[in-house]
């Protein structure tokens, strides 16, 4: 075979650092090496660099646990009269809140969120059982997926209570809730609600 018949080897350029680096949430925050302190909820706290999946999980049972915990928080924060349907606005609030969290704690705000959710997830709650027409409260364990749902609800409710008709901006209120809950501070609305649920459940045992 002559040299002319040989096809020249094509040297593909090596991928740059930017191309090989993993994607980041909001283009800034790492979503790898997240520590989980609670093994029961780890499966239901998914961390991805995507904060808006365009509702791909809608209509599918349990699909919500496969999307990012950040997007689930954003969706919860949208469930108010002022923010309903305005996802871009709530994403901006969340992005700004993450900046504030990082300034205050010097930690990855994604890690702070995961810890806050774990600390705000109730382990027990009460249900009503009827015995012969009498309604009796009964303490029950909370399923892991519901624990995460409840934690996100408590955080969102705390943000709404702190920022609605007050001088506190929504991003500051969200940052306050996340930092306080991550520190397991009982003064945080989410942690306080979790403690209250567990206290009532303990009394109903």
Q: Is residue 40 part of a domain?
A: yes
pLDDT tens digits along 143-159: 999 999 999 999 999 99
Least confident of 105-109, 166-170, 173-177: 166-170
CA–CA gap between residue 126 and residue 124 (Å, rounded): 7
**CATH number for the domain that contains residue 102:** 1.10.455.10
**Does the structure show a pLDDT above 90 at 49?**
no
Q: For residue 9, count other CB atoms closer than 10 A to its CB.
A: 6
Q: Is residue 157 part of a domain?
A: yes
Q: Is residue 128 part of a domain?
A: no
- pTM beyond 0.75: the answer is yes
Total domain count for the chain?
A: 1
**Does the structure show a pLDDT above 90 at 204?**
no
Q: Do residues 47 and 59 touch, judged by C-beta distance below 8 A?
A: no
- 109-120 helix and 144-163 helix, angle to the nearest 10 degrees: 110
| Rounded average pLDDT over 58-64 | 64
171 is in which domain, residue-wise? 22-120+144-192
pLDDT given at position 159: 92
Q: Is residue 200 part of a domain?
A: no
**Does the structure show a pLDDT above 80 at 56?**
no
Q: Is residue 126 part of a domain?
A: no
Q: Do residues 177 and 159 touch, judged by C-beta distance below 8 A?
A: yes
Q: Is residue 41 part of a domain?
A: yes
pLDDT given at position 16: 52
In the structure, what pLDDT confidence band is assigned to residue 88 with cuts at 50, 70 and 90? confident
CA–CA gap between residue 117 and residue 177 (Å, rounded): 11
pLDDT given at position 58: 59
CA–CA gap between residue 30 and residue 43 (Å, rounded): 19
């Amino acid at each position: 075979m002559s040299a002319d018949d040989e096809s020249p080897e094509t040297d593909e350029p090596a991928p740059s650092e930017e191309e090989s680096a993993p994607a980041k949430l909001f283009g800034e925050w790492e979503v790898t090496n997240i520590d989980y302190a609670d093994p029961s909820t780890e499966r239901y706290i998914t961390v991805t660099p995507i904060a808006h999946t365009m509702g791909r999980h809608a209509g599918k049972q349990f699909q919500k646990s496969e999307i990012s915990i950040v997007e689930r928080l954003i969706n919860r924060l949208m469930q108010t009269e002022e923010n309903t349907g305005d996802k871009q606005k709530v994403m901006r609030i969340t992005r700004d809140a993450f900046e504030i969290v990082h300034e205050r704690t010097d930690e990855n705000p994604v890690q702070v969120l995961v810890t806050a959710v774990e600390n705000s997830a109730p382990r027990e709650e009460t249900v009503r059982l009827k015995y012969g027409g009498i309604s009796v409260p009964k303490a029950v364990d909370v399923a892991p997926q519901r624990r995460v749902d409840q934690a996100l609800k408590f955080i969102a409710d705390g943000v709404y209570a702190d920022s609605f008709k007050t001088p506190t901006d929504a991003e500051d209120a969200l940052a306050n809730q996340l930092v306080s809950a991550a520190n397991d501070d009982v003064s945080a609305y989410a942690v306080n609600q979790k403690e209250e649920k567990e206290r009532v459940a303990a009394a109903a045992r």
